Amino acid sequence: MQAITPITRQPLHELAIDRLRDLIVQGDLPPGERLNERLLCERLAISRTPLREAIKLLATEGLVRLLPHRGAQVAPLEARRLTDTLEVMGAMEALAGELACRQASAATLSQIRSLHDEMLDRYAAGDLAGYFRCNQAIHLKIVEAGGNAVLASTYRQLNANVLRARYMANLSQDRWDAAVREHEAIMAALEARDAEKLTRLLREHLALKLAAVLTAVEKAA
């Protein structure tokens, strides 16, 4: 008999992490809101143990703030920290683009193109959450395509801290439309392996996103 790959089950706390992260990133749980364990357990149909494990992990991602003896709350968005983080990520994405143009395989470029096309489908359907998932997968794939494991690992850690900000940037229809045009140009430069153009486009893309985020944070404040 051929070897059979066992069916794996995702631990309950990992499912809770994914769901809670989506609720925070998409604004269903806004910055500053206290996390009511009883209500969240009811809403997610889980017990308190996996919920608490999920909250602890999301605290390491910067999405949740643990309050001594008072539970936890959704971490506030801080303009200074967002600016600093996205400036660093802009430099990292520019480096990743340069490396990807030199080292990405044809198969990897094809995978990124498929994600790009799916992202455009989600945009056409007005599905912001689906669009965002594809968008994030594209950026991560470009970073990984450069073949620098340290860069990819550091990028993932920083990106976890600004997921809400990146999602918020496209809440404006004008900004969302512009972001799609920017991604079209990014995709074309990547496929042409034009490293100079791609690094410039990636930097500009994140700078424009930062400006949109800061405007949204100011309005929320």
Per residue in 44-86, pLDDT tens?
888 888 899 999 999 988 889 999 888 899 998 888 888 999 9
How large is the C-alpha radius of gyration of the chain? 19
Q: For residue 65, what are the β-bridge partners?
A: 73
Mean pLDDT, to the nearest integer, of 134-159? 94
Contacts of 31 (CB under 8 A, 6+ apart): 74, 75, 76, 77, 164, 220
pLDDT-based confidence at residue 14 (cuts at 50, 70, 90): confident
In this prediction, residue 10 has a pLDDT band, given cuts at 50, 70 and 90, of low
Q: Kindly report, residue by residue over 159-188, the tens digit of the pLDDT.
A: 988 888 888 888 889 999 999 999 999 999
- pLDDT band at 151; cut points 50, 70, 90: very high
Nearest one of 132, 145, 136, 138 to 195, comparing CA atoms: 145
Banded pLDDT at 1 (limits 50, 70, 90): very low
- What structural domains does the chain harbor? 12-74 (1.10.10.10), 79-220 (1.20.120.530)
